[in-house]
Structure 1
Amino acid sequence: MNDNIIWLLIGAFAVLIGYIGKMQSDITRINKKINWIAKQLGESDTITDDLKQLLSEGKKVEAIKKYRIASGTGLLEAKEYVESLNEKE
């Protein structure tokens, strides 16, 4: 394969990784805003309630997985969020 094509593919991959990271940040920001709006309307944050329940049952990995699916965040962000819930109690 031509070296130019390889470098082009590497560059395209790097750009794609950048877009994915930006999307994850946007999703996190949007989720925080939605939670804030829900709080203002007096609605409970059911995902956080579910995560706290899982933590109380000792199911930290399951809580992280559930938050990753619900929020679209990466593993590290989800782990930090779930651990922050544990610290708030």
Structure 2
Amino acid sequence: MARLGLRPTDRTAYLIIFLTTIGLWGTIEYKVRSVDRRTARLERKVDLVLESLGVEYVDPALDEVDTLVREGKKIQAIKRYRIITGANLSEAKDAVERMEV
């Protein structure tokens, strides 16, 4: 480090900045995951309420996915669902399987 012209105090400052950044990143990631879990729980609850009321809600953007499901093209339906919604593979698979019923 001496060749770079950094004094020990400079290295300490960079280390503190680096560790603070890592800590903040971890905190933000934890919060985002927490919000994702809460959102998923709320979505499941809304789905249960709709199901208990006998209401079927189909998002107009998902008409293409619904058509693929009815045609028996499950894999293409999952892929299209992921593109439209940004869901991960597991979420898309669960959603498409719910559409099959």
**Could you say what secondary structure the match of 2:67 adopts?**
helix
Contact 1:51 1:67 in 2 (8 A): no
TM-score, structure 2 normalization:
0.61
Q: TM-score, normalised by structure 1?
A: 0.68
Note the C-alpha offset of 1:56. Answer: 4.5
**For structure 2, which runs of at least 5 residues remain unmatched after alignment?**
1-12
More displaced 10-residue stretch of structure 1: 34-43 or 48-57? 48-57
1:62 aligns with 2:75: no
* Count of residues in correspondence between the two structures: 83
Candidates 55, 68, 75, aligned match of 2:88: 75
Q: Unpaired runs of 5+ in structure 1?
A: 69-73
Q: How much is the aligned-residue C-alpha RMSD, in angstroms? A: 2.8
Larger Rg: 2
SS of 1:44's partner is coil
Between the aligned residues of both structures, percent identity stands at 13
